[in-house]
């Protein structure tokens, strides 16, 4: 097991550029479903949005830190969990919330605000929680990551496509409507294919360490879903809103996590495998949970 902290994945600069482009397309496909009125939700009904963002950027990182302290996994695995928890919500959360019978409009608003907030909160949470745990602090010190550089990458990967997508939806709603569904399916298919090809190129390494990571990712994802549900319940949100916040907290942008891992941590093995597993598992758990939730109608 000790080797996972030293091994780096076989991932070329061209592959990283391709992943950046894929993420931008994925974000654009989400953004063409957004309109300026979605951002007004914070003014009209601030409580659900604020609770959702708190669940995303406060509750999940705290739960992750507790998990890391209790389980004490290898440092690179621990930092991978912390990094994934620091990322904003994933690109399929809106789709899964809709399938679950939850408040899809709230999910869309949370995605928009979390994407903007990630410019500041993602590097902040990586530095804070990674720095508080001594084994991961050592990795951060060795890599000497610059939070400003992370913010720039997050901005280019998420904010620019967001602005372009919202602008297109506002100025050419007819074109956005035609592009929306096929582009969302296409972007998701490309992203999943990319993860599969990346895993295939590192299959021997992946098999060697998958067992050590799979259980932690499943537990971590369960904590994320549970943390979102508990916070939404404690703050007395409706079941309709509760479903959206639960799913938004449990679906992480692991693709952004992979970009940061290869850009700043040279594809460090444990971190990359954690992010890759998240990219697959959160889709499975989210769709399964949505199937269960959809059996009963949520009160609004």
d(CA 142, CA 252): 26
Residues 274, 218 contacting (CB under 8 angstroms): no
Tens digit of each residue's pLDDT, the chain (300 residues): 445 555 455 555 566 677 677 777 777 877 787 777 766 766 777 899 999 999 999 999 999 999 999 999 989 899 999 999 999 887 678 778 878 888 877 887 888 788 888 888 998 999 999 999 999 998 888 876 677 777 777 777 777 888 888 888 888 888 888 887 787 777 767 766 766 766 676 666 666 667 778 889 999 999 999 999 999 999 999 999 999 999 999 998 887 888 888 778 877 778 888 888 888 788 889 989 988 988 877 666
The pLDDT value recorded for residue 58 is: 96
The pLDDT value recorded for residue 65 is: 97
The pLDDT value recorded for residue 1 is: 43
Q: φ, ψ for residue 162 (rounded to 5)?
A: -60, -50
Of 101, 66, 86, 38, the closest CA to residue 244 belongs to 101
**Residue boundaries of the structural domains of the chain:** 2-293
The pLDDT value recorded for residue 119 is: 85
d(CA 170, CA 160): 16
d(CA 139, CA 135): 7
The neighbour count for residue 25, using CB atoms within 10 Å, is: 17
CATH number for the domain running over 2-293: 1.20.1530.20
The pLDDT value recorded for residue 279 is: 80
DSSP assignment of the chain equals -GGGGT-B----HHHHHHHHHHHHHHHHHHHTT--HHHHTHHHHSHHHHHHHHHIIIIIHHHHHHHHHHHH---HHHHHHHHHHHHS-B-TTHHHHHHHHTS-HHHHHHHHHHHHHHHHHHHHHHHHHHHHHSHHHHHHHHHHT--HHHHHHHHIIIIIHHHHHHHHHHHH-HHHHHHHHHHHHHHHHHHHHHHHHHHHHHTHHHHHHHHHHHHHHHHHHHHHHHHHHHHHHHHTT--HHHHHHHHHHHH-B-HHHHHHHHHHHSTTBHHHHHHHHHHHHHHHHHHHHHHHHHTTSPPP-
d(CA 5, CA 25): 32
């Amino acid at each position: 097991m000790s080797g996972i902290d030293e091994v780096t994945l076989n991932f070329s600069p061209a592959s990283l550029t391709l992943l950046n482009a894929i993420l931008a397309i994925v974000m654009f496909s989400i953004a063409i479903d957004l309109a300026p009125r979605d951002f007004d939700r914070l003014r009209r009904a601030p409580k659900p949005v604020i609770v959702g963002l708190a669940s995303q950027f406060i509750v999940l990182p705290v739960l992750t830190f507790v998990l890391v302290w209790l389980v004490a996994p290898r440092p690179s695995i621990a930092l991978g969990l912390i990094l994934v928890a620091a990322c904003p919500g994933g690109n399929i959360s809106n789709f899964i919330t809709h399938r679950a019978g939850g408040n899809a409009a709230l999910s869309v608003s949370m995605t928009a605000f979390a994407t903007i907030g990630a410019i500041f909160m993602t590097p902040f949470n990586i530095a804070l929680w990674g720095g508080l745990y001594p084994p991961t602090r050592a990795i951060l010190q060795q890599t000497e990551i610059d939070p400003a550089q992370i913010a720039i990458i997050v901005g280019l990967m998420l904010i620019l496509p967001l602005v372009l997508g919202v602008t297109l939806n506002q100025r050419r709603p007819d074109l956005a409507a035609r592009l929306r569904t096929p582009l969302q399916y296409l972007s998701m298919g490309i992203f999943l294919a990319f993860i599969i090809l990346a895993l295939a190129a590192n299959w021997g390494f992946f098999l060697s360490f998958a067992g050590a990571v799979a259980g932690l990712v499943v537990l971590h994802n369960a904590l994320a879903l549970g943390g979102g549900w508990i916070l939404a319940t404690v703050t007395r949100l409706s079941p309709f809103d509760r479903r959206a916040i639960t799913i938004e907290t449990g679906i992480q942008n692991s693709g952004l996590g992979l970009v940061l891992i290869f850009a700043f941590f040279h594809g460090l093995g444990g971190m990359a495998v954690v992010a890759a597993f998240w990219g697959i598992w959160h889709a499975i758990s989210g769709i399964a949970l949505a199937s269960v939730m959809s059996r009963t109608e949520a009160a609004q």
